[in-house]
Structure 1
Amino acid sequence: MTDATDLQAERRRAARALLASPLMTSGNDDFRLVRKHAGELAAWFTQETGWRLVVDTETARLYKTPARLDDATRPARAPRTKVPFTRRRYVVLCLALATLERADAQITLGRLADGVLTAAGDPALAAAGIEFRMDRREERSDLVAAVRLLLEWGVLHRVAGDEEAYLSEASNDVLYDVRRRVLATLLAATRGPSTVEAVNPDHRLAALTAEVAPDTDELRLRALRHRLTRRLLDDPVVYYAELPEDERAYLVSQRHAITRRITEITGLVAELRTEGIAMADPDDELTDVRMPEQGTDGHATLLVAAHLATVHGPCTEPQLVDLVRQLAVQHRSYWRKTAAEPAAAAELLAQALDRLTALDLITRNGESVTAKPALARYALAAPTIRKARSRS
């Protein structure tokens, strides 16, 4: 019994590690467990999500297909600053990957920059208003952010040098090993990009992730299970009202079976509510946005959430900026000193709203902000004062 329990705990840890890092290299602490349980994990992900798991001696890659292509709340982030990637940085990242595809086993940051500059000369990029020269620190920082993300993914391995020196002066170079096996696993698509004829980015993305349409009732039900399990694993909340009619009907009838299977493999706990389902993590690990979170930003987010949860109807962003200004005065003993500065309230609010949007707790329409049903859990109830019992 103990051995079986230990094996289940190992599989659960390995599954959680893959969900947190779908691209894993041998340097990851949990890589050994993923390799050990690769067969069982691959079978589960194939059966329940339709995701493919490939494991070899150097990498483990869970090829995740997103349930939604319109979710902009999970950007790539600079590893050190956690600042979301801009449009320019995404372009630099793609051009860097294209350069690495043609590179030797080793490459310097200077040669990588030259390759990006050459590729950036494409007339299509110029027509889109994207230009690179690498002669300014800001432009070099875009390349460094992309490189550090590739280092984090394991595509590159730093041999000598440091990116900070390159930021100060482009002549300061850095040497990397190119891990081609990791590079080859990056693209998670159902077809090669060169086979897609669509020009519109949204249409191209849809074509890259399109799956074969099911043509039998059994296959249609399996496709429904895959889409819903993907959303329950990836999304903070799945609202019934936002699902197509067929998905809503299937989830209502199969929610206990689906969530039980997810719990068995991941340890996530289902919160079944009238408005939908959330898979909560008791260990608070399988999330990139925590709520609540320590510090001024986290406290401000929690207080804004509590306010929105008790307001009937939408609030405007200017109203919420005024609220944050009041909160900064009220909590000046606990918040960082700069929170009381005139421009700080707008910045604090922007970060709070971005976090609440990512957690699917609010909707934003222009400057209007409206609470979604799951935000009700953060509403503060009025205190109940009980009378002390008299002692006889």
Structure 2
Amino acid sequence: MIRDEERAQRRTALRALLVKPLLTAENDADRFVLVRRHLAELRDWLSRETGWRLLADAETARLFKTAPTLSDATHPARGRAKEPFGRRRYVLLCLALAVLERADAQTTLGRLAEEVLNAAAEPGLDFAFTLESRAERADLVAVVRTLLDWGALRRVAGDEDAYLSATGDVLYDVRRPVLATLLTPARGPSTIDATGFEDRLTELTAEPVADTDDLRNQAMRRRLTRRLLEDPVVYYDDLDEAERAYLVSQRQAITRRIEEATGLLPEIRAEGIAMVDPDDELTDVRMPEQRTDGHVTLLVAEHLAVHGEAGTEELRAFVRGAAATHASFWRKGVTEPGAEEELLSIALDKLVALRLVEVRPDHVRGLPAIVRYTLEEPTVREAGKVRR
């Protein structure tokens, strides 16, 4: 019984790290305690199966994950209202981290804003930012609230809404132990010689080249395990020949180890593999969801599951028709001219992130995993008869 309880605790701790790779004793007390309790076992499993590092001290537990691919932009950071970060927020986040690295033990939002403005004005940084508009101040506040959620800042007094309305300021503690864990590259940025963005990113994330068959197979297994943990679906067509052959031959062993450690269940099909979470926790994009956007996404998925692909204009017309049908249940304004554009855009963004569709300039193509949303025709039984 004790062994089963420990196994369940390790699974809970690993799932917590996969959802939130940075846990702090202050913000995530229960999950942090579990990770610390099972640190040795978690560290061994992650190192062996994924190559990821897990570090922990009295204040933080940090899983240094690496992205399976460098070109996937479908899972951006999101603010508290779930709005995705754009370029300006990402740049502000980087500038804020640079400023906080040199800040005193405490700072205010106003002082941080001034120093970010000074950093944005540095020669060679093509970034126009003035804080003159409410939208710019809102972006800075979204970045600060993200740092609060991560535990890099601790609010001492005040509220960000007061700063937005220019009626007050906010005082923060700067938590340096947390700040020190935020960067996750394989190499320090100061050691990179490349100048172009793509080249610098490649060097930052480059891993040592294996020089024996055993090490090459180990590296391949780790890459595939990371993809199965991170990607909603891993299609064989997206892998190179060596990876595809290895995954096909080792899929039972790899998926079994993932299932035992995390509780994710393998869905293995001819086109690829998905590790499905029965508790629907290990994802930032859920399908299906409630409310208007969730219903639109499900209807579009069903349409593409049946037809395979559809032109963009056809899908707009489909969403317009669905809005007219469900207007009494959906949010206001869905039947207004042009409303279908936003509804369809939100739906397609979710379906792309879940690797269910591929969006092309003039049409959308369903990917193999979308067939799970195909609805069968209903069977109508005659009154008084029971099908055996």
- TM category (shorter chain) comes to over 0.9
1:152 corresponds to 2:153: no
Whichever residue aligns with residue 343 of structure 1, its letter is G
Cα distance per residue 1:253-312 (max 9 Å; x no partner): 000000000011100000011110000001111111110001111011000000011114
Q: Provide the residue aligned with 1:286 in structure 2.
A: 282
The equivalent position to 2:170 in structure 1, one of 168, 174, 179, is: 174
2:103 aligns to what SS in structure 1? coil
1:149 aligns to what SS in structure 2? helix
Cα distance per residue 1:185-221 (max 9 Å; x no partner): 0000111111112122111111111000000001000
1:289 aligns to what SS in structure 2? coil
2:334 aligns to what SS in structure 1? helix
Q: Provide the residue aligned with 1:225 in structure 2.
A: 221
User: CA shift at 1:14, angstroms?
Assistant: 0.3
Q: Provide the residue aligned with 1:59 in structure 2.
A: 60
User: CA shift at 1:387, angstroms?
Assistant: 4.5
Query: Cα gap change, 1:390/1:224 in structure 2, threshold over 3 Å: closer, same or farther?
Result: closer
* Percent of aligned pairs with the same amino acid: 60
- Once the two structures are overlaid, the 10-residue window that deviates more, 111-120 or 46-55, is 111-120
Q: Provide the residue aligned with 1:43 in structure 2.
A: 44
Give, in whole Å, the separation in 1 of the partners of 2:383 and 2:138. 63
Pairs aligned (count): 384
User: CA shift at 1:388, angstroms?
Assistant: 5.5
1:249 corresponds to 2:256: no
The equivalent position to 1:131 in structure 2, one of 128, 132, 139, is: 128
1:359 corresponds to 2:358: no
Question: Please, which runs of 5 or more residues in structure 1 have no aligned partner?
Answer: none
Whichever residue aligns with residue 141 of structure 1, its letter is A
Give, in whole Å, the separation in 2 of the partners of 1:114 and 1:175. 14
The equivalent position to 1:338 in structure 2, one of 333, 342, 349, is: 333
Whichever residue aligns with residue 114 of structure 1, its letter is E
Cα distance per residue 1:37-81 (max 9 Å; x no partner): 0000000000000000001110000000111111000111112x2
Give, in whole Å, the separation in 1 of the partners of 2:311 and 2:124. 39
- Once the two structures are overlaid, the 10-residue window that deviates more, 131-140 or 50-59, is 131-140
Give, in whole Å, the separation in 2 of the partners of 1:189 and 1:198. 15
Give, in whole Å, the separation in 2 of the partners of 1:147 and 1:203. 29
Question: Please, which runs of 5 or more residues in structure 2 have no aligned partner?
Answer: none
RMSD: 1.3
Could you tell me the TM-score, scaled by structure 1's length? 0.96
Cα distance per residue 1:120-174 (max 9 Å; x no partner): 1122223xxx2111122111111111101100100000001111111111x6211
Superposed, 1:1-392 pairs within 5 Å as 2-26=1-25, 27-28=27-28, 29-79=30-80, 81-126=81-126, 130-169=127-166, 172-312=168-308, 314-387=309-382
Give, in whole Å, the separation in 1 of the partners of 2:307 and 2:252. 33
User: CA shift at 1:383, angstroms?
Assistant: 2.0
User: CA shift at 1:379, angstroms?
Assistant: 1.1
Give, in whole Å, the separation in 2 of the partners of 1:249 and 1:387. 51
Give, in whole Å, the separation in 2 of the partners of 1:212 and 1:153. 30
1:160 aligns to what SS in structure 2? strand
2:41 aligns to what SS in structure 1? helix
Give, in whole Å, the separation in 1 of the partners of 2:115 and 2:169. 15
2:177 aligns to what SS in structure 1? helix
1:221 aligns to what SS in structure 2? helix
Give, in whole Å, the separation in 2 of the partners of 1:369 and 1:302. 15
- Once the two structures are overlaid, the 10-residue window that deviates more, 214-223 or 361-370, is 361-370
